[in-house]
A and B are shown apart, each in its own frame.
Chain A
Amino acid sequence: MNLGAFLIRRLWQMIPTLLGVVLLVFFLFNWVGGDPAYILAGKMANPDDIANIRHQLGIDRPLWEQLLIFVQQIVTGDFGNSWATQEPVSAIFRTRLGPSLILLIPMMLLETAVAVAVALAVSAWRGSTLDRSLMAVSTVMMSISLLVYIIVGQYVFAYLLGWFPVKGWSDEFWRNLTTYAVLPVLLGLMVSIAPSVRLYRTFVLDEIGQDYVRTARAKGLSETRVLLVHVLRNAAIPIVTNVLMGLPALLTGAFLLERFFAIPGIGREIILAVERSDFPIIKAATVYVAMATMLANLLGDLLYHWLDPRVHLE
């Protein structure tokens, strides 16, 4: 199948998936989402006030009509305004996504680079003390909650030692990246890197016992070349899958890190929207994440083909 036909078919398949997501989100929110009118009405509202707010938000309309509006919003890309703050949803994502990405992209790149490097290194010494120790450390690291890392890390490294700011954010990209994001990124890595190391080690070990590796070694290739060129290329498919599956999470931010370090990211905003039953933001976030997941899958399939031409696009 040629690339164009493949892309059209895959994009076409996304429509029913997205519709499923839309239905799920819509009915879940209406079932358990809470009634925002009671928050917006304030301390001393009467039933008329509540009815007026429900009318203005459109949540007194029949469900099918509300669902239709939701679909219309997805088609136009305009999710309206936040019910709580009146800020356009598009502006919320435009302004809050940047800070989250400044945290999450370095975290993802570092996590992948370090995890792959460690996985390759320990696989060369499989079963050694180094391998066993690293695996034990990984297990301990992933058993500790991110919250613990943040509370202790913020206290020790920012407050006691003063190596980093306790919290903060600025308007300058470079200052944010090199000053305010450093500690949150490092603390985030403490949790995220261990599972990746263990997973990638397994991928590498799966490959290292293959015949082609023995052949490469028999040809006299250096161990470095065997690992970096032959083993890594073949282990790359599951690694790429794992990385791509993490991409949609960039859209939901890192709530705990953003909250503790006062970073105006999208994670904080989404949690706040859930607390306030601010449906327009919840709708937009869910749809964006669903679309990003589907696109990441598509990108993954294209990358498999590029990494290993034996993989056919069908």
Chain B
Amino acid sequence: MPGMINHMGRLLFILVLAVPLAGFAAAPEKVLHLALSAAETGFDPVMTSDLNTASIEQQLFESLLTYDYLARPARLVPRLAADMPTVTDHGRTWVFRLKHGVYFAPDPVFKGARREAVAQDVIYTLMRFMDPKNRSPYKFLVEGKIIGLDELAEAARRSGHFDYDAKIPGLEALDRYTLRVRLKTTDYNFAHAMAQPMYGIVAREVIEAYAGDTASHPVGTGPYHLARWVRSARMVLERNPYFRHETWNFEPGDDPDNRRIAALMRGKTIPQIDRIDIQVIEEPQSVWLSFGKGELDMVGLAGQFAPLALQGDHLRPKYAARGIRLDRISDPSIAYYFINQQDPVLGGMSPEKIALRRAIFMAQNDEEMIRVIDKGQAIRNAYPIPAGVAGADPGYRSVLDYNPELANRLLDQTGYARGPDGYRRMPDGSPLAVRYTSSLSSQDRELDEMMKKALDRLSIRFESEKLKFPEILKAERQCHVQIRLSAWIADYPDGDNFMQLWYGPHTHENNASCYQDPQWDRLYERTLTVPDSPERNALYHQLARMLELKGVTKVSTTHIRNVLSQPWVLGFKPHPILPSVWAYLDIDTARAPRE
């Protein structure tokens, strides 16, 4: 009998254990299926320059700061930092305190031990950007800023070796978790630099162990780690087992959509999704059809499919009926025409050259461009700083709006008479032709047509220069492009990131119009010493007006981003700056198709 009781007891014990375990085992895995529109380039943040790669690194690595998921306009919040930095000395000294108990994802380099992220890791990470060997595309965010760092880089250029053990006054670990950064000059945007995914913190021993192949060994403190990688084809991210306990607690404010999201997500542990399965799918048709079949959970709607999916600003009823969600957001970007100010035909500051440039800009029909090129997925924006970026001016009235009549009058008055062939000539009677530079893509062929139409309106002869993209960049930096439509998307949501595009000393860098005007440059330099304020906005307004009046640039449009998500994706809201927000989402497994 006692034996039987023992036996029954064991059975009961097994049953008690088995019931919850069975329930646990049955819990379906939450998987998010996504597509990248272009192949990734490798996962060493210091070498990253493309958005697709950055979107994955955002989940693998953590920068000191980040942007609040729901707040609009984008607002900085701590990520690896315990709180917002203390800024003193007119924006020249920044003290960051790190969270305790933040661990890197497991890696053989750590030999089974947990490796905590500390202030020295941040110093090492920042130093890497200036190591010439790393040729980092994002070093501009620290270059010329941190006391002693440029000198260290210069020494490395001479010796061929970057001294990571050197102590520099600009980067000091005050204790294990506190970092003091001292800048050469006032920089109110330094916090934005520390929120870039490329500035995700790495561990020195990992980088040194995988030297030469660091792009294949991403080890960060982010919510996910790279579990599987088929280069240029597929990436699988899985939860980082060492990720700290964090809960979803973003403040929704008064926005009803934010409130809906907060009601679904508040209090949940971050991340909720177990696995993120990302495929590289370059063709928009394949992405669109895969989403239609439910094989992808979220997609950015490509321009050519917008007419199929949207009716005006809304989703077509047949998709809405399936529970598919549409989220629209105006990108922090601008598309702008620029004219090379050093070009022998179009450049120069004489009244007739300024008139010619302004006439060319006024002949550009922005509404037609939105309709034909952007398929309606853009808005007219004449200001160099787009909406949602600090310094934007939604009420700005351009003096270069589409007006071919006025443009022709301006040319008539300044001596650009029509020749016997019907085309205008220079005031001295020499031939006039405008050379428009574009790439070999199909969209750029359409843009060529648009520019030809614009110049035909003015009876100006059109010439096309077709170059491969690297050659366009080279020609721009050598001030060889005459006129082009270019685009810029915010690295961080501050007007400076846009206004620097016309700063004289940035000629041969990214001042493609090669505009060098001491008056403009002095005004711009004043904006750098002032934090985001009405005073700085007034300066920006003056700068923008000068660009138009002197015929340097015409800002044309801002792109609209449309994101479609399946009904089982919970908590999604597109973010203007963060390249990915996957850790803040959830999947309703009851509605999602089974794997």
Interface residues of A (CB under 8 A from B): 34-47, 49-50, 52-53, 56, 84-87, 92, 95-96, 151, 154-155, 158-159, 162, 165-169, 259-262, 264, 268-269, 272, 275-277
Contacts and interface: CB of A to CB of B under 8 A. Distances in A.
B157 to A, nearest CB: 8
A116 to B, nearest CB: 33
Given A34-B470, A154-B286, A166-B289, A43 B213 contact: no
Given A35-B470, A43-B491, A169-B233, A151 B285 contact: yes
A268 B232 contact: yes
A49, A56, A92: residue with the most chain B Cβ atoms closer than 10 Å: A49
A39 B469 contact: yes
A260 B286 contact: yes
B292 interface: yes
Nearest to A81: B212
A9 B47 CA distance: 49
Contacts of B133: 56
Given A40-B135, A264-B233, A277-B468, A166 B293 contact: yes
B292 A159 contact: yes
A101 to B, nearest CB: 15
Contacts of A272: 39, 232
A87 B491 CA distance: 27
Contacts, number: 129
A275 B472 CA distance: 13
Question: Ordered nearest first, which 4 A-B pairs have the shortest CB separation?
Answer: A42-B137, A264-B233, A38-B473, A34-B470
Interface stretch (B119-127, B276-284, B333-341, B448-456): B276-284
B290 to A, nearest CB: 5
Contacts of A268: 39, 232, 282
A155 B49 CA distance: 34
A35 B132 contact: no
A86 B213 contact: yes
B470 A262 contact: no
A165 B295 CA distance: 9
B151 to A, nearest CB: 15
B279 A262 contact: yes
B391 to A, nearest CB: 18
Contacts of B279: 167-168, 262
Contacts of A86: 42, 47, 212-213, 215
B137 A41 contact: yes
Given A41-B135, A45-B137, A36 B286 contact: no
Contacts of A261: 286
26 contacts: A34-B468, A35-B470, A38-B474, A40-B137, A41-B135, A42-B49, A43-B49, A43-B491, A43-B510, A44-B140, A47-B508, A49-B139, A53-B135, A86-B215, A155-B285, A165-B295, A168-B279, A169-B233, A169-B234, A259-B282, A260-B283, A262-B282, A264-B232, A276-B470, A277-B468, A277-B470
Given A92-B231, A154-B285, A169-B234, 7 more contacts: A37-B470, A44-B509, A45-B140, A85-B231, A86-B215, A87-B216, A268-B39
A38 B289 contact: no
B19 interface: no
B41 interface: yes
Interface of B: 39, 41-42, 47, 49, 132-133, 135-140, 157, 212-213, 215-216, 230-234, 279-283, 285-286, 289-290, 292-293, 295, 468-471, 473-474, 477, 491, 506, 508-510
Contacts of A262: 233, 279-283, 286
A262 B506 CA distance: 40
Contact of B137 (A43, A47, A275): A43
Contacts of A162: 293
Nearest to B48: A42
Contacts of B41: 84-85
A46, A262, A264: residue with the most chain B Cβ atoms closer than 10 Å: A262
B41 to A, nearest CB: 5
B471 A269 contact: no
B474 A35 contact: yes
Nearest to B478: A47
A166 B42 contact: no
A45 B286 contact: no
Contacts of B281: 167, 262
A269 B491 contact: no
Contacts of B137: 40-45
A34 B508 contact: no
A34 B470 CA distance: 6
B226 to A, nearest CB: 15
Contact of B135 (A56, A151, A277): A56
A264 B40 CA distance: 13
Contacts of B139: 49
Contacts of B509: 44-47
Given A87-B42, A260-B286, A166 B470 contact: no
Given A38-B470, A56-B135, A155 B289 contact: yes
Contacts of A47: 477, 508-509
Contacts of B49: 40, 42-43
B593 to A, nearest CB: 13
Contacts of A37: 470
